[in-house]
Amino acid sequence: MPFKVYIKFFVVITLLTSLSSCNVFKSIATNTKKASVSFSLPNLRSSKPKVKKIKAKIPVLEIAQSDPSEIEFLENISVKPGKIYIKSASDSIDAEPTVNNAANNFERMPDNLSEVEKANWLQLKYSIKMDIAVEEINNIPLLQKIDEWWGTPYCMGGSSKGCIDCSFFTLDVMKQIYNINLRRTAAEQYLQCVKIDWSELKEGDLIFFKTEGRRNITHVGIYLTNNKFAHASTSQGVTISDLADSYWQRRLYSLGRVSVN
């Protein structure tokens, strides 16, 4: 083979070998790169799920402001401890009027008084209660009996110092002071009475009220003097009230007298 031909042949072989080597290295590099990609760790930061903070709108329940001691039920009717009344009605039932006696220091009789001093004390107390002169008070036993029950809380059907209702109060006082036997309820006591006019009214007569609209007789008291009467009030217990008060004027139904048995 001529030398020039040999040289050309050698150059061609070298070029082919070089090109083949480059392709092999390129293939290896390419495969290596692909392998490195396939085995690379995932980007944890970018793979975290995005959490969107949502502010929930909670509905607000609006509660009407009211007196905590008052409970409303049905229609237009309210109840408070010791009181029942209809707020808006033509023939309404109002709460009995209350009197603040906190400033009165004569409510309780002192324990260490003589009989004469007790009588004087009772006259002073009830002259103030009835707004009359001390000299006009003569029935001390009546005052003593009223004072025995004074302030006793009201409860329907009550007949003790724990609580008492209006008809038992009148029953007890009339029996002990006037020797008159009354029946148990206000309605029954009303039926016992002979009805009298206002001009005939005197101490010891009974006064009847309808405190629940047009229903039956529901309340009774004992007349004293100067428009005052003693009774067991639902709001104050045993006390003395004034017939001139608008509450009692609207509910006064009848005046009655029971003769001695």
Active site residue 163: no
Domains of the chain (ranges plus CATH)? Answer: 144-257 (3.90.1720.10)
Candidates 22, 155, 193, 219; catalytic one: 219
83 pLDDT more than 90:
no
Task: Please write the tens of the pLDDT for every residue from 162-195.
Answer: 999 999 999 999 999 999 999 999 999 999 999 9
Which range among 48-62, 92-106, 235-249 shows the weakest confidence by mean pLDDT? 48-62
pLDDT at 118: 87
Partner residues linked to 86 by β-bridges: 77
pLDDT at 4: 52
Candidates 22, 155, 193, 231; catalytic one: 231
Residue 250: pLDDT band (50, 70, 90) is very high
Cβ distance 132 to 218 under 8 Å?
no
pLDDT at 26: 47
103 pLDDT more than 90:
no
Active site residue 155: no
Q: What is the 3-state secondary structure (H, E, C) of the chain?
A: CCHHHHHHHHHHHHHHHHHHHHHHHHHHHHHHHHHHHHCCCCCHHHHCCCCCCCCCCCCCCCCCCCCCCCEEECCCEEEECCEEEECCCCCCCCCCCCCCCCCCCCCCCCCCCCHHHHHHHHHHHHHHHHCCCHHHCCCHHHHHHHHHHCCCCECCCCECCCCECHHHHHHHHHHHHHCCCCCCCHHHHHHHCEECCHHHCCCCCEEEECCCCCCCCCEEEEECCCCEEEEEECCCEEEEEECCCHHHHHHEEEEEECCCC
Q: Mean pLDDT score of the chain, rounded to an integer?
A: 74
Percentage of the residues of the chain whose pLDDT score is greater than 70: 59
37 pLDDT more than 90:
no
87 pLDDT more than 90:
no
Task: Please write the tens of the pLDDT for every residue from 133-158.
Answer: 999 998 999 999 999 999 999 999 99
Candidates 22, 155, 163, 166; catalytic one: 166
Task: Please write the tens of the pLDDT for every residue from 43-62.
Answer: 544 444 454 444 444 444 34
Task: Please write the tens of the pLDDT for every residue from 195-217.
Answer: 999 999 999 999 999 987 767 89
Instruction: Please give the angle made by the CA atoms of 194, 200 and 206, to the nearest 5 degrees.
Output: 50
Active site residue 166: yes
Residue 8: pLDDT band (50, 70, 90) is low
pLDDT at 200: 94
pTM as predicted: 0.62
